[in-house]
């Protein structure tokens, strides 16, 4: 799917001009007149980035960013402002804004920011896909296997794990074989890397 630039600005004049420029520069563009309109029509699977006017009536750019984060429809946001003031900039960057540009920033800067945002979106999407896949692998583990894995990752020996869990050492070995099979890895080091990729170590239900 082609990455799309979502442009959100209440100023229709600027909106159409920006749409023109980005289309001419080869981007797929979707214009929105307000933050609400954009949120309502946003499809999470569409890759790309958002180019958002910071100052809009009702819901402004920062509110939009917060909503995106809340609804887990994460997407890199490039803010545009007529006149950037420090408090708004700080808040936007803290909440993960991709970039913060003045409306009269030169084309190169704007396009660069958009490209970078799209690239990051692609990377994040890849990371998210991989994470979901790794997490899916971990989800295949049984509760007992999860418990054994936890101990293994803490670096404990089979004998110690058997003592801790009150099972025999052989059973521990069987669980470990099952874990490496389910996760598709060979070594403890690989298991540890996967667990890190999955983010939070998934706890048993």
Partner 1 sequence: MYARCIEALTWCARFLSLIGIVVSGGLEPSVAQNDKPTDGKKNVLILYGERLDLPVIRMAEQSLRETFAASVAPQVEWFAEYFDFARFPSAEHEANLTRYLRERYAGRKIDLIMPVSSLSLRFLLRHREEIFPGVPVVYAVQSAAEVDAGALPPDVTGVAAEMDVRGTVDLALRLQPEAREIVCVGGASGADQDGLAQVTKVLEGYADRLRVRVVSRRTLAQTIQEVRAVPRGQIVLLISMIRDAEGRALSSREVARKLSAVSQSPIYGLWGTLIDTGAVGGALIDAGAVGRKAAEVALKVLGGARVPAGSPETKARTPLVLDWRALQHWKLPLSRVPAEAVVMFRQPTLWEEHRGLIIGIATVLVVQTTLIAGLIGQRVRRRRLEREAVELRHELTHAGRVTMLGQLASSLAHELNQPLGAILRNAEAAEIFLQSDKPDLDELRAIVADIRKDDQRAGDVIDRLRALLKRRQLDPRPLILSQLVDEVVTLTRADSFTRHVGIEFDVPRDLPLVRGDRIHLQQVLLNLLLNGMDALADVADGERSLTVRARTAGGGFVEVAVSDNGHGIPAEKLGRLFEPFFSTKPKGMGLGLPISRTIVEAHGGRIWAENNAERGATFRFTLPVAEGGVA
Q: Which two tokens stand for residue 188?
A: 């403890």
What is the nearest approach in angstroms of partner 1 to the Cβ of residue 66? 13
**In terms of DSSP H, where are the helices of the chain?**
12-24, 35-41, 61-70, 86-94, 107-139, 143-153, 158-165, 169-183, 188-197
* CA gap 26, 5 in Å, rounded: 11
Name the residue nearer to partner 1 (CB basis): 78 or 179.
78
The position carrying tokens 């420090």 is 86
Q: Which is nearer to partner 1, 46 or 55 (CB)?
A: 55
Q: Are 199 and 131 in contact (CB under 8 A)?
A: yes
What is the smallest separation between the CB atom of 7 and partner 1, expressed in angstroms?
10
Taking the complex as a whole, the smallest distance from the CB of residue 115 to partner 1 amounts, in Å, to: 15
3 state DSSP class of 184: coil
Structure-block tokens of residue 200:
């939070």
Smallest distance from the beta carbon of 107 to partner 1, in angstroms? 4
* Identity of the residue, 81 or 158, whose beta carbon is nearer to partner 1 in the bound complex: 81
Give the residue among 44, 45, 3, 12 at the shortest CA–CA distance from 31: 12
Binding site for partner 1 (CB under 8 A): 11, 13-14, 16-18, 20-21, 23-25, 54-55, 57, 60, 80-83, 85, 87-88, 102-104, 106-107
Q: Measured from the CB of residue 192, what is the shortest distance to partner 1 in angstroms?
A: 44
- By C-beta, is 1 or 90 nearer to partner 1? 90
Smaller CB separation from partner 1, 17 or 168: 17
């Amino acid at each position: 799917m082609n990455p799309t630039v979502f442009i959100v600005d209440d100023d229709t004049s600027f909106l159409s001009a920006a749409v023109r420029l980005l289309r001419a520069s080869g981007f797929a563009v979707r214009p929105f007149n307000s933050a609400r309109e954009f949120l309502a029509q946003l499809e999470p699977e569409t890759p790309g980035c958002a180019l958002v006017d910071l100052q809009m009536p009702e819901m402004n750019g920062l509110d939009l960013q917060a909503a995106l984060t809340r609804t887990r429809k994460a997407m890199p946001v490039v803010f545009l402002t007529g006149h950037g003031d420090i408090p708004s900039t700080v808040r936007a960057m803290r909440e993960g804004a991709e970039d913060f540009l003045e409306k009269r920033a030169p084309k190169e800067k704007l396009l660069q920011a958009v490209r970078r945002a799209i690239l990051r979106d692609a990377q994040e999407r890849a990371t998210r896909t991989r994470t979901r896949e790794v997490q899916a692998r971990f989800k295949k583990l049984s509760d007992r296997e999860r418990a054994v894995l936890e101990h293994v990752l803490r670096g404990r020996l089979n004998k110690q794990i058997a003592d801790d869990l009150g099972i025999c050492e052989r059973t521990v070995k069987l669980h470990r074989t099952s874990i490496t099979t389910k996760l598709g890895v060979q070594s403890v080091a690989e298991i540890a890397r996967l667990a890190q990729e999955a983010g939070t170590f998934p706890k048993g239900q």
